[in-house]
Amino acid sequence: MSFRPDIGTMPQELRMPQELRERLAPGGVLRAGINLSNFLLVSSRTPDGGPAGVSPDMARAIADTLGVALRYVPYESPGLLADAAARDEWDIGLIGAEPQRAEVISFTPAYAAIEATYLVPAGSRFQSPAEVDAAGVRIAVTGRTAYGLWLDRNIAHAELVRSTTMDEALADFSDKKLDALAGLRPRLNSDVARTPGTRILDGQFMAVQQAIGVPKATSDAVAYLTKFVEAARSSGFVADLIRKHGVEGLSVA
């Protein structure tokens, strides 16, 4: 599978100027920040232990389109990837677009989306995600995820019980007898299978918008990367990547 809307074949107004390309990929190497904790976007490893999946393939396609080499810069969580934006550790970051992160990262439109909802005890009174934000309700959530940051901004009445990892959030939900566990639906599908007496609410409280980000210092590259994302979606390339990696729960934005 390949996707290469070669810069040289694009209309002149859509080509990335050489000076901007050199700033985006210094020394002819594009450093791509990859969030290893998102199992939908990094679904496996290469024989040498590198990241493999939809987001590494998107980064590869961008590098090929620009005609530069690629180096993956992996992070164990999206929060760590976002923190590195101001430290010149990566040139593009494949991460959920979120207003708090947008303070230091400029984003393209999303290329993929992931639904977020709640896991609740089987006997819970809640039938929809909107009902969960109520006084006295305690929600387990993995902090600094895109959906966790959304809850930070939007939950008005319930209490958020934050943890560092998704496994810790599940343990909090079970051990502390919390009212709900927030998460990405594909992950919750596996959590409900190993947590008897629970169910997943229909609907969503938000959808994580997976995008291409660049540090603010190179925000002028976003217009060109936006054209790439639009072409990757409309050509079927993103859909092909999702099928190639057999990912369930990830959709084309």
Distances (CA, A) of 96 to 8, 23, 114, 117, 199: 30, 23, 9, 16, 26
State the pTM of this model.
0.85
| pLDDT reading at 13 higher than 60 | no
15 — pLDDT class (breaks 50, 70, 90): low
Interacting residues of 231 by C-beta distance below 8 A, sequence separation 6+: 3, 5, 237
State how beta strands 69-75 and 29-35 pair.
parallel
Q: Which has more pLDDT, 120 or 10?
A: 120
| pLDDT score, position 17 | 84
How many whole angstroms separate alpha carbon 188 and alpha carbon 200? 7
| pLDDT score, position 8 | 40
| pLDDT score, position 7 | 38
3-state secondary structure the chain: CCCCCCHHHCCHHHCCCHHHHHHHCHHHEEEEEEECCCCCCCCEECCCCCEECHHHHHHHHHHHHHCCEEEEEEECCHHHHHHHHHHCCCCEEEEEECCCHHHCEEECCCCEEEEEEEEEECCCCCCCHHHHCCCCCEEEEECCCHHHHHHHHHCCCCEEEEECCHHHHHHHHHHCCCCEEEEEHHHHHHHHHCCCCEEECCCCCEEEEEEEEEEHHHHHHHHHHHHHHHHHHHCCHHHHHHHHCCCCCEEEC
| pLDDT reading at 35 higher than 50 | yes
Q: How many CB atoms lie within 10 A of CB 93?
A: 28
Write out pLDDT tens, residues 176-224. 999 999 999 999 999 999 999 999 999 999 999 999 999 999 999 999 9
| pLDDT score, position 77 | 93
| pLDDT score, position 85 | 96
Average pLDDT in the chain? 93
| pLDDT score, position 11 | 41
Write out pLDDT tens, residues 105-139. 999 999 999 999 999 999 999 999 999 999 999 99
| pLDDT reading at 10 higher than 70 | no
| pLDDT reading at 150 higher than 50 | yes
| pLDDT reading at 1 higher than 60 | no
